[in-house]
C-alpha cells in the first residue's frame, strides 16, 4: 500500500484528471461579509420579508451608485416596489472589499493530534525528515498566527480548578 506524505504527490494524482487552481496564486478571495455589513442594511430591516420572497429583481437606480431590490412573493408576479438596500447615506459604490489573508487558523486540538500522529508514525525526530518539512512549516506558521491573533491568550482548559465549594452551571 502506498503512503502519500507530501501534498505535491496528491497534486500530481489530481492533476492527471482535473485542473488545479491554487488559492492566493491563481485567485484571491475578498472579504465581502464584513464589507457589506458596513454598507448594506440588515435583511430584517428590508421592506419585504426576505424569507418569503421567491425571486429578487435588481434595478439600477437613477441616482448614481445605488442598486434597488424588488422582492416578489410569487414567481409570475411583478407587483413589488423596488427599494434601496443600503444604509442611510451609503451607496453600493462605497464597497471596497479587502483581500483575505492566505493563511487560515487551524484548531489547536487538530494541530496537537497531527503532531501526535507524526510522532507515533515517524518517531520523536520527525521534524528532521526533509519529506515532512511541510508539517514543520505548518506548525511554525500556526504558532506565528496565534501570536498575532491573541498575544495575551492563555489556555486554562488543562488546569485543575482550585478548591471550589459551590460550582453551578
Ranges of each domain in the chain: 32-94, 103-151
The set of residues, in sequence order, having a beta carbon less than 8 Å from that of 53 and lying 6+ positions away, is: 71, 72, 73
What is the band of 5 on the pLDDT scale with cuts at 50, 70, 90?
Answer: confident
For residue 107, give the nearest of 152, 151, 138 by alpha carbon. Answer: 138
- Predicted confidence at residue 7, as pLDDT, reads 78
Total residues found in the chain within this entry: 169
- Which residue has cell 475578498? 30
* pLDDT digit string, tens, across residues 92-120: 888 888 888 877 788 899 999 999 999 99
Mean pLDDT of the chain: 82
* pLDDT digit string, tens, across residues 52-89: 889 999 888 887 778 888 989 898 888 888 888 888 88
- The DSSP secondary-structure symbol of 142 reads H
Mind spelling out the 3-state secondary structure of 77-128?
Answer: CCCCCCEECECCCCCHHHCCCCECCCCCCCCHHHHHHHHHHHHHHHCCCHHH
- Predicted confidence at residue 167, as pLDDT, reads 46
Amino acid at each position: 500500500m502506498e503512503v502519500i506524505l507530501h501534498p505535491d504527490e496528491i497534486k500530481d494524482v489530481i492533476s492527471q484528471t482535473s485542473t488545479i487552481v491554487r488559492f492566493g496564486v491563481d485567485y484571491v478571495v475578498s472579504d465581502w461579509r464584513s464589507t457589506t455589513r458596513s454598507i448594506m442594511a440588515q435583511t430584517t430591516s428590508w421592506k419585504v420579508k426576505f424569507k418569503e420572497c421567491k425571486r429578487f429583481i435588481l434595478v439600477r437606480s437613477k441616482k448614481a451608485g445605488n442598486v434597488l431590490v424588488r422582492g416578489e412573493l410569487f414567481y409570475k408576479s411583478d407587483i413589488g416596489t423596488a427599494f434601496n438596500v443600503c444604509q442611510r447615506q451609503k451607496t453600493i459604490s462605497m464597497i471596497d472589499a479587502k483581500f483575505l489573508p492566505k493563511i487560515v487558523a487551524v484548531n489547536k486540538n487538530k494541530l496537537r493530534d497531527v503532531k501526535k500522529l507524526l510522532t507515533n508514525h515517524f518517531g520523536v525526530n520527525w521534524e528532521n525528515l526533509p519529506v515532512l518539512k511541510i508539517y514543520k512549516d505548518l506548525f511554525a506558521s500556526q504558532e506565528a498566527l496565534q501570536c498575532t491573533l491573541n498575544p495575551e491568550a492563555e489556555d486554562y482548559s488543562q488546569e485543575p480548578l482550585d478548591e471550589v465549594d459551590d460550582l453551578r452551571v
